[in-house]
Structure 1
Amino acid sequence: MWSPARAPRPRTLAGQFLALQAVLLVLVVAVTSVVSFRQSDADFRDARGARLRASAENLASTAAVQVGMASAGQRRALTIYAQQRQDDSGASAVHLTDTSGTILVSTDPTRTGGKVDLGPGVVDGRAWTGDLDDRGERAIAAQVPVVGIQRDVDAGEVVGVVVVTERYPSLTERFRQTLPDMVAFLAVGLALGLAGAWLLARLIKRRTRGLEPAEIADLADQREALLTSLREGVLAVNEAGVVTLLSESARQLLDLPPDSQGRQLADLDLPLRVLELLLGDDDVRDALAVVAGRVLVLNSNRVVQDGRPAGTVTTLRDRTELLALQSQLSARESVTETLRAQTHEFANQLHTISGLLELEEYDEAGRLIGTLTRRRAEISDFVLERVEDPSVAALLVAKTSLAIERRVELALSVDSRLQRLAPDASADVGTVLGNLVDNAIDAAAGADAARVDVRLTTDGGDAVVQVADSGPGVPAERIDDIFDRGFSTKPSDASGRGVGLALVQVVCERRGGSVSVHNDGGAVFTARLPVTTEDPDDRRS
C-alpha cells in the first residue's frame, strides 16, 4: 500500500535529462544497427556479387569447361576447375548445371544431382547476379551461361550454367563484427550525453532560480490556485504590450474574451482610459475606471528585471457596490450638512422672533415672520417651476440655506428645465449636483460678491448639469488632474479630500455620460448624464 513515507524521491533535472538522452541514444543505436545491417547487406551484395560474377565468367569462358559441358564423359575432370575458382574467389560453392538447373558438377559432392534455381535470361545467354535460397539459407549467386564450342552443332549454344554462390554472414557474425563499434559509439554517446545533461541542467536551473521540475510544477499549481482564489483581478503586460498573464477574475471584470492571454492589449476591446492606465509609463494608484458598467479601481506597478523594464502588473478591484454606498453616503453627508445649516439659520431667526416677542413688538415680529415665509416660498416656487423632479428640487432648496450660511448666493438660472426622472437617474443627478454645488460653494466662499450659478437642462435624452462659481478657477496646468481620485486644492483632513469630483466623473461615465471643466471668470463644470424620465401615469398608479 502506498504511503507518503515510501513515496519515490523525485528525480533531479540532470537525472531526467540523462535518462531521456540514454533512451534516445539506445533508440539511435538500434536504428543505426538496422540501417548498418541493411547497408552491409547491400555492400556485401555489390562487392561480392561483382567478384563472384567475374569468377563465374572466367570459369564459363574456359575452353575445357565449354568442351566438357557438352560431353558427359568429361564432366568429372571439370571439378578441378570448379575447385580452383572456389579457392580464388572465396565462394561457398561452385556448381556446373545443365540448362534446367540440375547440378552436374559441384565443389560440394553432396549437391551433385540437386537443383538450383536459375535466374531470368540465363538459359538465353545472359549473365545474372542476385539472391537465392541455398538449402534454406540466403546466399548471393552469380550465374553465367556456358556456350559450347565442340562441334558445329553445339557452337554458340548454351550447354550449361556456371553457378558461383556465397552465403551471407549470419546475424550473429555480423553482430560480432559491429559490436566493438557499437559499444564504443554507445560509450562515447553516454559520456557526451552525461556532460550535456549536466551542463543543460545547470543552465536551466540557473534560469529557473535553482528549482527542480517538481518544485516548478508546485509553484505553477500554487500560482493557479492563488489566482483562482483571489477576487481581485491580476493582469500582466510585457514591454511589447502583450498580455502575459490574465486571471479569470480580471478577464470577467474587463469583459474580455477567453483567448485574450497572449494577444496585444491594444487589440482588445477596452475603453481608452483603461488602455492609457495599463500602458502608461507611470505607476497607477487607486485609479477609477468604468468598464462594462462596472466601476474598477486599478493599481499598476512597473516590473524591473536585471535592471531592465519587463512590463507591468496590474490589480483590479470591483468597487461598483462601494461606489453606490459612497454615493449614498455623500448624499447623506450633504443632507446632514444642509440640515445643520438650516438649523443654524432657523435658530437665529427664532432668537430674533423670541426677542421681539419679549419686547412686545408683536407687529414687528409678525412682519418678520411674513417676510421669512414669503422669501422661503419664493425660493421653493422658483425652483419647483423649473425642476419637476422632487428630489433634485429639494436638494437645490436645501443647498440654498447652506450657501446663505457661507455667505454665498446660490442662484438657479431662469432657463433651467428638468423633468421628473426615474428613481435611479434622480439619485445620480442628485449626487452629481450635490458634489458640484458643494465644491463651488467651497471655491467661492470668502470672496466678495461670492456667487454660484446652477443651470439644469435636458438635451435629447441627456440631463445637463452646469455649475459655475465666482472663485479663482482651476489652474490651467491642473485641469487634466482635477477628476483624479485624491486631487484637491483644499487642506486634507480626517474626512478625506479629492473624492467628490472623482465620484462625479465615475457616476457620469457609468451612465455613459461625461463631465468637463473650463474657466470663465471662475470654474464652470458641465456634466452630461443619459437619463430616463418617469411616466406620469406610473406615478398615479
Structure 2
Amino acid sequence: MPRTRRMRFATRTLLLQLATVVLVVALCTGVYLVLATQQLRAEAESSALGIARTLAEDPELRAAVAEESADPGPPRAELLRDGDLQRTATATANRTGALFVVVTDDHGIRLAHPDPGRLGQEVSTPFQEVLAGHEVVEWETGTLGESVRAKVPVRDAAGTPVGEVSVGFARAGVFDDLPPLLAVIGLAAAGSLLVAGIGALLLRRRWERLTLGVQPEELVALVQNQTAVLDGVDDGVLAVDAEGVVRVCNAAAERLLAVRDAVGRPLDRIGLPDPVRDVVSAGRALSEAVVDGRVLYLDTRPVERDGRPLGTVAVIRDRTELVALSERLETVRTMTAALRVQRHEFANRIHVAAGLLDAERVQDAREFLAELAERGSVDFPVPGIARLRDPFLRSFLGAKALEATERGVTLRISEETHLLGAVSEAEDVAAVLGNLVDNAVSAAVDGAPPRWVEVAVLDDRDALVVTVADSGAGLDGAEDDGGATDDGAADDGAADDGAADDGAADDGTDSAGPVHGHGLGLRLSREIARRGGGDLWVIDRGGEAHGAVFAARLGGVVAPARSIGPAPLPGSAPRPGDEQDGEPSDEEESR
C-alpha cells in the first residue's frame, strides 16, 4: 500500500492557528451580538417608558382620563374616535414612530387606540398592576403583534391611578439597526480572519526559515544524533553561525580550547587563543595551533544549505602525541643513522687494531686503541666536537652534521661549549636541539656561502643550555604573537657565554619566519622546554655577520658526570684528566 504522506508541521500549525482565530472571532462576534441586542432592547424599553411617562404627566390627558373614569357608564366609541385623547395618542405615535399609544380608564377600557374599531373595548394585556400604581415594562404580544411596551399609571389630581398609558414599539422596529450592525461585525470578523491568516502564513514562512524546513520529528532525531556524535567522539566540534555566535561547542572542544560556557556567546568573547579565533573567523580549511602545550589541528569548513550561508564548523583534533611521536621518530632515525655509521667505523678500526696485533706491534695497537677510546669510534666531520664529552650529544650532533654536510652546510661546536655532566633525558634534548639545528640548517641553505651552523652547549647544575646560530639571512620582520619571552629562563646561573644576555628581546618563537619552518616545531619545543622549568627564545634576529640565534634552557636533563674522560686501557698509564669527578686521585690522597 502506498505510504500516506503526513501533513507538515508548519501546515498543521497554520490550520490550528486559523481554527483558533475563527473560534475567537466567532465567540467575540456572538458576545457582541448579544450585547448589541440587549442594548437595542434597553433603548426601546427606555424610549417607550419615557414617552409613556410624558403622556401620563400631561395635565389635559390626566383630566380627560379622570373624567372618563368618573363616568359610571361605559364610554361611547363614536365619541372617542374624534376625542382629544385619540388625537393626542395618534399624533404622539406618528411623531415618535411607536407602534401604538393606548390610553385606558380605570377599568382597562381603551380610550385611545391606533385601531379606532377597538375603542371602548378592554385591553388584551393585564392592567391591574399598573392601576395599582406601578410602572410596567415588558415584551408582550397583543392585538398588534409582539412588541416592547411601557405602561404608566395616569393619576388624578389626588394622585389616585385612574387609568394607564401604554406605549409600544414593534420588535421589527426595535431591531431595524441590527442588519447594518451585523454587516459591520461581519466585515470586522472577516478582516480579523484575513489578518490572522496573513500573520499565520508569515509565521509559517519564518518558522520554516528558522528550522530550514526540518520537521519537529526530524529535529528530535537531529538532537539525538548530534548528542550521540558530539559526546561520542574525542574530536572537538565548534560551530559558529553567520553572526559569529557560538552555537555548538562539545566537551572535547571546551577541554582542548580551555573555554567554558561558550554556547550562545560571540566567538570573540569566549577567551579563545588568537590563532584559533583567527582560523575559525577566516574559515581556513586546514590549520595548526598550539594551545596550552597541545598541538591542535583545525579543519574548518563553511556550512551552507540551499545556497544560504549558515556559518562555520571547526573540527579540532589533538595532534600533540602524534607530533611528539614524529619528533621522537626523527630522533630515532637520526640516532639509527649515527649508530650505523659508528658500527661501520668501529668495525674498520677493530680491523686495524687486529692487524697491528697480528703484526706484533703491541705498542702501536695500544696507542691506537687509546686514541680510539679518547676520540670515539667515529671521527665525525664536526669542528670542535672534541669539546663534547657526552656520548649522546657527540653521536646526535655528529649525525646531524652528516645530514647538514649533504646539504652543503658545516655544523660546528662553539668554543664556548663547556659540559661537565651527562645528558639523562635524551628524548627531550633530541626534540628541542634537533628542531633548532634542523631549522638553522634550512636557514643556512637559503643563505649565501659559507654556510654554517654553530652550536654551543653548556650546563648549569641539572639544566642544559644550548644556543644555535646560523649563517642565514636571519628572521624576517614578522610581528611577535606572544611567543616565548626573555623572562629570565636562561639567567639563573646559566653559562657565562652571554647567551641569554645579549638582547634576548621579547621575540616570539612563533614569528620565526619561513626559513625557520612554520613555527609548529618551535612552539612544541618551547612547550617541552617549559615543561621542565626552562624556556626557548630568540637571542638575536640576525644581521650581516650571522643569521638568527636561538637559545633553549632544558631543566632536569643533565646528570652529574661520573668521570670526565674515558677510562684508561688495562695496563696503560693514566692520562691527565682521568681522575674521577668528586673523588681524589692517589696523589691527592697522599697529600
Structure 2 equivalent of residue 285 of structure 1: 286
Question: Equivalences for 1:314-463 in 2 at 5 Å?
Answer: 314-358=314-358, 360-375=360-375, 395-402=392-399, 405=402, 408-411=411-414, 413=416, 428-440=428-440, 450-455=452-457
TM-score (norm. length: structure 2):
0.59
Give the match's secondary structure for 1:476.
coil
Amino acid in the other structure paired with 1:526:
A
Residue 519 of structure 1 pairs with residue 542 of structure 2: yes
Aligned equivalents of 2:263 and 2:131: distance in 1?
74
Q: 2:58 matched to 1:37? A: no
Aligned identity (percent) is: 29
Q: Does the 8 Å CA contact 1:469/1:523 hold for their aligned counterparts?
A: yes
Provide the rounded CA distance (Å) in 2 between the counterparts of 1:140 and 1:511.
Answer: 106
Structure-2 change in CA distance of 1:278 and 1:191 (3 Å): closer
| CA distance in structure 1 between the aligned counterparts of 2:556 and 2:132, rounded to whole angstroms | 104
CA distance in 1, matches of 2:42, 2:6: 53
Aligned-residue Cα RMSD (Å) equals 6.0
Task: Provide the secondary structure at the position in 1 that maps to 2:550.
Answer: strand
1:257 maps to 260
What is aligned with 1:504?
A: 525
Q: CA deviation at 1:315?
A: 1.3
**For 1:108 and 1:164, how far apart are their aligned partners in 2?**
13
Q: Distance in 1 between matches of 2:257 and 2:104?
A: 93
Residue pair 2:104, 2:163 contacting (<8 A) in 1 also:
yes
Question: How far has the Cα of 1:311 moved from its partner?
Answer: 4.5
Where does residue 243 of structure 1 map in the other structure? Answer: 246
**How many angstroms does 1:58 deviate by?**
2.7
The yes-or-no answer on 1:60 pairing with 2:47 is no
Q: Structure 2 vs 1, CA of residues 297 and 26 (structure 1 numbering), >3 Å: closer, same or farther?
A: same
- How far apart, CA to CA, are the structure 1 residues paired with 2:152 and 2:423? 118
Paired amino acid for 2:274: L
How far apart in 2 are the matches of 1:257 and 1:118? 88
Whole-Å separation in 2 of the counterparts to 1:161 and 1:427: 125
The letter for the 1-side match of 2:286 is R
- Other-structure match for 1:269: 271
Deviations 1:58-112 (A, max 9, x none): 322322453478789459989x7798678965479989999xxxx9899965433
SS for the counterpart of 2:336 is: helix
Q: Distance in 1 between matches of 2:210 and 2:414?
A: 69
Alignment of 1:166-181 (within 5 A): none
Q: Distance in 1 between matches of 2:203 and 2:343?
A: 81
For 1:264, the aligned partner's letter is P
- CA deviation after TM superposition for structure 1 residue 317, in Å: 1.0
Q: Aligned partners of 1:248 and 1:97: how far apart in 2? A: 99
2:47 counterpart of 1:51: yes
Structure with more of its chain in helix, by fraction: 1
The aligned residue for residue 471 of structure 1 is: 471
Find the aligned partners of 1:346 and 1:55 in 2 and give their Cα distance: 140
Indicate how the Cα distance of structure 1 residues 36 and 328 shifts in structure 2: closer, same or farther if over 3 A, else same: same
**Superposition deviation, residue 40 in structure 1:** 0.8
Give the equivalent residue in structure 1 for 2:300.
Answer: 300
Return the TM-score normalized by structure 1.
0.64
Residue 288 of structure 1 aligns to a residue whose secondary structure is strand
Q: CA deviation at 1:186?
A: 7.1
Secondary structure, aligned partner of 1:289: strand
Amino acid at match of 1:254: L
Given the superposition, is the C-alpha separation of residues 509 and 32 from structure 1 closer, same or farther in structure 2, using an over 3 Å criterion? farther
1:20 is aligned to 16
Q: Deviations over 1:231-285 (max 9, x none)?
A: 4222233454322443444334334333x222111111222332233234x6152
